[in-house]
Chains A and B, each alone.
Chain A
Amino acid sequence: MSVLKKSLVTAVCIALCVVLPMAFHAIPNGGVLFSPMHLPVLLCGILTSWPFGLLCGIAGPLLSSLFTGMPGAPMLPQMMVELASYGFMAGLMINLIGIRKRSAAVIISLLIAMLFGRITAGCARAFIFARGSYSLPMWISSYFVSCLPAIVMQLVLIPVIAAALDKAGFTGRKMG
């Protein structure tokens, strides 16, 4: 994939970070349950590479906050840290994992990125954004329990979309 195409994929994913949550907010509490902004960021990292994934993770929530007011400004920095970690690690792992079967590489990259992002965001909240008022139960409940539907949806949807794009010849790769 050329640098220009990677740039445009990143631009589209950033735009989806604004548009998708608007659709998901039609469901009561849909934004919190399904974390719609995570989908384009993780996909951007997997389709392009870590610098573009990182940019998507930073710019996506920033633009969404400016356009739709969500995430609210106090939540914005911690969300930027979390999503930037997802995009960065997804892009890094997909290039580092030496598995020839692409679908397996996508799922492993996703799992590592999702875990890395949650740990980074938890550390950021514990040591910077909510210093002294953050606990392990809060981390488990906010990053694993309350967003379990989101984790399942991301693990199902992202490999499906990546496979569809590979099959259409968009990425120049073949899904194994």
Chain B
Amino acid sequence: MELIGAYKPGTSPLHRMDNTARIVSFSMLFAAFLIASGSILGYVFSVAVLLVLYRTGSIPIRPVLHSMKRFRMFFITIFLMNAFFQPSENPFFSWWILTFSIDGIMFGLRMVLSVILLTSLAALLTAVATPLEITDGLRTLLHPLSFLHIPVDQASSIISIAISFIPVLAAEGENITLSALSRGAFPGGRKLKDKAMSLIPLTVPLFLSAFRRADELSFAMEARGYNGSIKRRVKLSFGLNEAVSVFISLSILIAAILLKGVSIVGS
């Protein structure tokens, strides 16, 4: 099963950044993209920033955009839901709960564009940082919450274990699918009900197999005396690279806010 933005080792500035600074920078970029969306100028700005970021991280953008093709049905659904259910004062036609209007079409297009842009940015983050580095950055950022007795360490451990389970369960899912196919378990009918029923031979064994793995792992961890009470150290190495990255991200965020202001004044 193909994953969008799988980690690609490298030595680019984005790869070498501190985990926490990387999360902070990308959070500001996400915010900037969200704020800039809505106007043509904002989308041009976001695309330009995205291209520069992919270039800086030495990551090709074409495979990421290509892998989004498989979500075309999802994009069409988002577009149609917004096109037909968006309230408007000047609709082309209106019947029961359906309202088809130019406002709805534009809103649907904006939603699809925003999804593609933000997904590409998320794919860049996962391409320049391993999942464990991302978790580590999040744990450091959330560390102050542990003073409020929120179990940040335990939560981050759970997320780390979940990340290590993903490839195992993905392979297990493929095995179950292949074995079910060899037994002719998927009827492959054209009706929606048949398609839904065909997923049961995949879903139930996958759940049971996943819980069996959790059971075995809990026995193994308890046998080794693990009780989750050991706290990990918070690591933060903030150098020139990190300072420059955070400054650039902050500048992009401010530019996006200014662009939004310009587009509001212009309209």
Contact = CB atoms under 8 A, between A and B. Distances in A.
Interface of A: 2-5, 7-16, 18-20, 22-25, 27-34, 39-40, 43, 55, 59, 63, 65-70, 72-75, 133, 135, 137-138, 140-142, 146, 149, 153, 157, 160-161, 164-165, 168, 170
A32 B74 contact: yes
Nearest to B151: A51
A164 B168 CA distance: 22
A135 B87 contact: yes
B218 A2 contact: yes
Contact of B207 (A3, A16, A138): A16
A126 B97 CA distance: 17
B158 A11 contact: yes
Contacts of B207: 16, 39-40, 43, 161
A149 B197 CA distance: 11
A23 B202 contact: yes
A28 B204 CA distance: 21
A158 to B, nearest CB: 10
A74 B118 contact: yes
A137 B85 contact: yes
B73 A73 contact: no
Given A69-B122, A149-B192, A161-B204, A18 B218 contact: no
B53 interface: no
Contacts of A153: 196
Contacts of B86: 133, 138
Given A23-B173, A133-B107, A2 B222 contact: yes
Nearest to B209: A12
Main secondary structure, interface of A, reads: helix
B228 A12 contact: no
A175 to B, nearest CB: 15
B229 to A, nearest CB: 10
Contact of A23 (B163, B166, B199): B199
Nearest to A162: B207
A133 B82 CA distance: 10
A18 B196 CA distance: 19
A20 B1 CA distance: 11
Contacts of B177: 23
A27 B177 CA distance: 14
B131 interface: yes
Given A69-B4, A72-B115, A19 B170 contact: yes
Given A59-B159, A135-B87, A75 B169 contact: no
19 contacts: A4-B228, A7-B157, A8-B217, A12-B211, A14-B159, A16-B169, A16-B206, A19-B169, A23-B1, A25-B71, A32-B73, A55-B158, A59-B158, A66-B5, A66-B125, A66-B134, A138-B85, A140-B97, A149-B196
Interface string B226-264: 111000000000000000000000000000000000000
Given A4-B227, A70-B71, A14 B158 contact: yes
Given A14-B159, A15-B166, A8 B214 contact: yes
